[in-house]
Amino acid sequence: MQHLVETLGAIGEQPGGGIVRPVYSPAWVTAREQLATWMREAGLVVRGDAVGNLFGRISGETERTVLTGSHFDTVKLGGRYDGALGVLAALAALRALLKEGFRPRKSLEMVALCEEEGSRFHSNFWGTRGILGLIGPPELDDLRGDDGVSIREAMRSVGLAPDEFQQAVRDDLDAFVELHIEQGRILYDEGLPLGVVRTITGLYRFLATVEGRTDHAGTTPMDLRRDAFQAAAEMAVEMTRIVSAVGRPAVVTTGYWDVQPGAWNIVPGLVRFGVDLRHPDEAVKQRLGSEIRAAGEAVAARRGVTVQYEMVGDVPPNDMHPEIRSAITGAAEALGVRFIDMVSGAGHDSQVMASRVPTGMLFVPSVDGRSHSAAEFTSPEDAARGATVLAATLRRLAE
Ligand SMILES: [Zn+2]
């Protein structure tokens, strides 16, 4: 599998390192052709759908289908493993099952999903949403990249018929299994080869707008200021303290800041900052959300500024399906592969798939926890072991 990782990873790779392979780009087209070639060579029946997903199928006795795969687009300057490893592990698993002469009762299919990352359009999960019928017609024109090109135009440029996007919808799926790199460092630190995802974490995201007063930086005494930045910074520290006190796996990040007017010699009068809170328990997530909002309001009142919140995302956690989880854990146990139950702190195709199809997910270690960077790496041994567990899982689900 390692040479496939390297060959695919070279498509869209930049001279300084890192892959740029957004949906419907020339590199994306090349990668898709390469994958189709490998899938045909493995003996799969290959076809594409209306949004650009690529499928390789082993027909069983019934049309009901067990699907496995991940996405093959990348973030800007992404690594070789995010998404790609799930596609290549699916290919390796199906190839191995064919070689063993396995005759599935249910049909077995792999998918290279066209888009997950939202790195060109804000189209996150476009491939999975296409399969599930969750794309809204206005999106074809509303979704535009930084270059102004709409997703409709981009689809047409690679030979797809955008108006036929509804033909991508599937109603024959009985299961979806996704292998993915962990993108964190829990497995790596514990020295474990496999994680079985229990839940994909919930997201609570809001924009805080703090308003104080702009004043002269030289003439306004400290005790008379209503510095919006100082207040916002204290809010961020206070919110972080509250969430840290809860312990793992609660996380909060305040990574987006807009400070106005943004000058050396003016006391900031207006600050917007983004709060991204995640927890796999919906009740805890909502409680923490309320607590950190209240903490921000308390800081505002004490410092004589105002704060307003605008919700930008409130996504509940998505539990993986118990039957798919037990197929994965059963396969791992039978193979003697050690594993732990995990929460995924990152979003994945599986969380969307889980809304309609029984879904399960397995993680392999990311060396040093690195991801969304050229430094992404999973050892060939861990990748191969993950693909073996995936194959055994598919066998259980399809026989
Ligand atoms: Zn991914």
Per-residue pLDDT reduced to its tens digit, 84-124: 999 999 999 999 999 999 999 999 999 999 999 999 998 88
Digit-coded pLDDT (tens) for 161-192: 999 999 999 999 999 999 999 999 999 999 99
Give pLDDT, residue 123: 87
Q: What is the largest CA-CA distance in the chain?
A: 82
Between the CA of 394 and the centroid of ligand 1 the distance, in Å, is: 20
CA separation for the pair 173, 57 (Å, rounded): 13
Question: From the CA of 83, how far away is ligand 1's center (Å)?
Answer: 4
pLDDT in tens, 332-384: 999 999 999 999 999 999 999 999 999 999 999 999 999 999 999 999 999 99
What is the DSSP secondary structure assignment for residue 217, as one 8-state letter?
Answer: T
CB atoms within 10 A of CB 47: 13
pLDDT at 389: 98
Are 374 and 77 a contacting pair, CB within 8 Å?
A: yes
pLDDT at 187: 97
Retrieve residue 256's tokens: 């987006």
Centroid of ligand 1 to alpha carbon of 48 (angstroms) = 20
Give the whole-angstrom CA distance, residue 365 versus residue 340: 12
Question: To the nearest whole number, what is the mean pLDDT of the chain?
Answer: 97
CB 268 within 8 A of CB 226: no
pLDDT reading at 331 higher than 90? yes
User: For residue 383, how far is its CA from the centre of ligand 1 (angstroms)?
Assistant: 15
Helix pair angle (2-9, 26-41), 10° resolution: 160
Contact yes or no for 124/118 (Cβ under 8 A): yes
Q: Distance between alpha carbon 164 and the CA centroid of its chain, in Å?
A: 26
Cβ 50 vs Cβ 110: under 8 Å: no
Given its phi and psi angles, is residue 159 left (phi above 0), alpha (psi -120 to 50 degrees) or beta? left
Kindly give the distance from the C-alpha atom of residue 73 to the centroid of ligand 1, in angstroms, as a whole number: 9
In the predicted structure, residue 275 carries a pLDDT above the cut 90: yes
As a whole number, mean pLDDT of residues 33-48 equals 98
Going from the Cα of 150 to the center of ligand 1, the distance in angstroms, rounded, reads 23
d(CA 57, CA 60): 9
Q: What token pair was written down for 167?
A: 């033909």
CA 303 to ligand 1 centroid distance, Å: 42
The tokens of 177 are what? 């299994």
Nearest of 203, 227, 202 to residue 217 by alpha carbon: 227
Q: Given a cut of 90, is residue 157 above it in pLDDT?
A: yes
Q: In terms of DSSP H, where are the helices of the chain?
A: 2-9, 26-41, 84-99, 126-132, 139-142, 151-157, 186-190, 228-246, 282-303, 322-335, 349-353, 380-398
Q: What is the pLDDT of residue 313?
A: 87
Residues 71-83 pLDDT 10s:
999 999 999 999 9
Task: Report CA(239)–ligand 1 centroid distance (Å).
Answer: 28
What is the chain's length?
399
Confidence of residue 294 (pLDDT cuts 50, 70, 90): very high
Cα 365 to ligand 1 centroid, rounded to whole Å: 14
Backbone angles phi, psi at 332, to 5 degrees: -65, -45
Q: Pick from 96, 97, 91, 99: which is nearest to 68 by CA?
A: 91
**224 CA from centroid of ligand 1 (Å):** 49
pTM, full prediction = 0.89
CA 84 to centroid of ligand 1, rounded, Å:
8
- Quick one: tokens of 340? 């732990």
Distance from the alpha carbon of residue 16 to the mean position of ligand 1, in angstroms: 22
Q: 388 C-alpha vs ligand 1 centroid, how far in Å? A: 20
Whole-angstrom Cα distance, residue 377 to residue 79? 8
How many Å lie between the centroid of ligand 1 and the Cα of residue 39? 21
The pLDDT value given to residue 124: 87
Mean pLDDT computed over 206-232? 97
Q: State in Å: Cα 102 to ligand 1 middle.
A: 29
Q: How confident is the model at residue 70 (pLDDT cuts 50, 70, 90)?
A: very high
If pLDDT is split at 50, 70 and 90, which confidence band does 243 have? Answer: very high
- Give the residue, 315 or 51, on which the prediction is more confident: 51
The tokens for 361 are 């997910």
Residue 247 Cα to ligand 1 middle (Å):
25
For tokens 């990782």, name the residue: 5
pLDDT tens, position by position, 125-154: 999 999 999 999 999 999 999 899 999 999
Task: State the distance from the centre of ligand 1 to the C-alpha of 111, rounded, in angstroms.
Answer: 14
User: How many angstroms separate the alpha carbon of residue 81 from the centre of ligand 1?
Assistant: 8
